[in-house]
Amino acid sequence: MRNRPHIRTLAIAGATALTLGLTAGASASAKGFIEEDLEYGYFYGTFDQTPNVVLSAGGEIQEFCGDPGEPGTAPMRVFPRTDGSVDLRVNAKDQEINLYYTDAVGAPEWLEEICPGIDDGDEPPVPFATGDADLKVRTTVVSPDLVQVFNSVNGKARGADGTAYKVRATADLVVEDGAPVGDPRDFIGFKLTEIRR
């Protein structure tokens, strides 16, 4: 990692579709929005590197195993629109992030590999760096079958050896019928930079 301080690559993000108990007829407060808590879990990872890097936002990677797999919580504003759509907005600071090395192809594949063992009592992977980040979410629920998703984390993490990193990860995509549309390499971004002393 020290000989490659800049990693600019595409990533995989989890939890792109939000399941909310909101209806198009929900009424906003006098402020124009409803205050709710967002339960989330995002993960991003590099492709085709040795090793790959996975970032988890909202909790440690073992907390993504099982249901619902959304360990993080952040305050959210919900804006019901007159056309029946609903906008979700989050702008939260100090959200937990963890960085891991893995030999897996991508973050989803890694979770498929490790979760059964963790469920059986295996020790979970240990992050090489931990920290916190600003979380932004800009999601529009157009209909139950169509969701426009944007989320990002931007923060810093520090390793046990004292190495510091800056990290920024984004997801900007459309979800139809519960599935992301297109190739994740086209709508996910991830950049990890070692901070030189």
Taking the C-alpha atoms of residue 69 and residue 59, their distance in angstroms, rounded to an integer, is: 9
The strand pairing partners of 19, in sequence order, are none
pLDDT tens digit string along 178-197?
A: 888 887 778 878 899 999 76
Q: What is the pLDDT of residue 22?
A: 46
Taking the C-alpha atoms of residue 176 and residue 141, their distance in angstroms, rounded to an integer, is: 11
**pTM assigned to the model:** 0.83
Low-confidence ranges of the chain (pLDDT < 70): 1-30, 197
Taking the C-alpha atoms of residue 79 and residue 101, their distance in angstroms, rounded to an integer, is: 38
